[in-house]
Structure 1
């Protein structure tokens, strides 16, 4: 493995600074990590440099990193000043060892074919996923094309030309760098628009920050106001989290209860009554929105005042099956309901129970009340018919008597 072009570590480096440092050394081909999966920072860096990302099959142990970097440092007289430098070099060596055999095969094949190609360019193609054979074919074809397209021998480059070429390359690299900076800023803006609202995450982040501060300044941080403030916030957030968990548990219990009664309703054991706060147009509209009153439903008037024939007709159009009322319903409304076969049941005749704001009755009980109501209506209708017949007989007898006297 050759000597490193640059081997240093520094705190607080941004992706932009690292990108610029890498470009100043040349065209990066490979970005290596010493852990798997690679950190998001390393992935984004590889993407910015348009480089291949290398990760080991498993996380490199500290002993392995010490051993391979020690041998390398001894052979190349490299001074490893800290663990960060060692880890970076270990990742680079690991990546080189991964491709080492393929690089040797490239060199051997190139010598075998006596191909007039750049060995380094062929290696770059192999790293980017090309087979050795394919990489050689592409490089040879490109080299031949370049040879054919050159009509005359290139002029010898003067120091001025070389200097300008270096300046042009530097400017191109800077343009690429600033474009990446713009893209980074856009990505950062998107990220900043997303807010973390879950209190558990806030507690976790604050706790992690506090742990980091404790590790760095364990002897002095306890006297710092920021530390005390963070502690108070954590305690407050923990209390809030406990409260939220209790609320969540209560909601889960309520949801389980609702599911149980929904199950009873789906089996036909109970019937949910859809409540209507007031028997008015506004009250009906509100109930339509909240409870989706549809054909076959049974509704419950919490306040039946204000209702008349028009509001009753609205419910008839909805196709309701029955109406349960806590109080007296206007006579005109009752006539409309009766005319269109909508049963009107007094609240007192049913054992209405409530669950989480929803009234319900047992299906069997409601059916009995509705059947009794139908029977009662038949009895009342028969009685009314008998009264009409008796009245007709009485009037007819009177007419017959008057005719006999004449």
Structure 2
């Protein structure tokens, strides 16, 4: 019971002093007072005020401390033996010092050599870097030139192919022209469509249609009697067609003694924009056309037309 009462009293006393201890901790920390805090708290517990306790401890720590002087060491007597020992050590230290100095000189020379070597390597690196730069530039130029060369080779191949085609077409054209000169082939004017516009465009851009021309229409399906009359007015010799021609246009041309001949019947040949027909086959078709027209005219009793056909045949046979 006494121990419990004593412990209770101690706890009560600590709790009653706790605010003062906290104030003390705050003051020491804020003012940065260099004192022993445990000693300071002990003084306060003895009844001393906070400021008195702090002043007391600061005063104690500022008092000088007596330092006892070191005892004098008696100087050792210098004997010959001790002198020889010291001299031997001194000579050994000097020898060691010379070795260190030589080593330092060697290291300094090594440093100089390494600096020189560094400058050489730096210079070599600059040369290599520059060389690599030019090598890279050269390689790029080589790649560029190789690409240009390949493109040039492709262009040459394309042009060579075009040249071969042109030579082939020129050979064909020369062959056909030779046959035309010999009288085996007849030149034919080629128009795109059987229309008035196509005839006018050809006349404007290429050449006028005139008496005795043989006309090839690529597409004969467009025009009618009016277009046929334009050809009749120009006194063309014949029309070659590769597609059907309207009945009215054909009748108009036949009445004017202009034959309409299928391209397959006259061995039509094309060389670019030029066209040619076999002379013998053309003349054969022309004679057959005249025979048919003359026979039909006799049947119908059209003496005038019969006479016209006969006159035309005589003129063509001269």
Higher relative contact order (CA closer than 8 Å, sequence separation 6+): 2
Flag the structure with larger Rg. 2
TM-score interval for Structure 1 and Structure 2 normalised by the shorter chain: 0.3 to 0.5
Q: TM-score, normalised by structure 2?
A: 0.47
Could you state the TM-score of these two structures normalised by the residue count of structure 1? 0.37
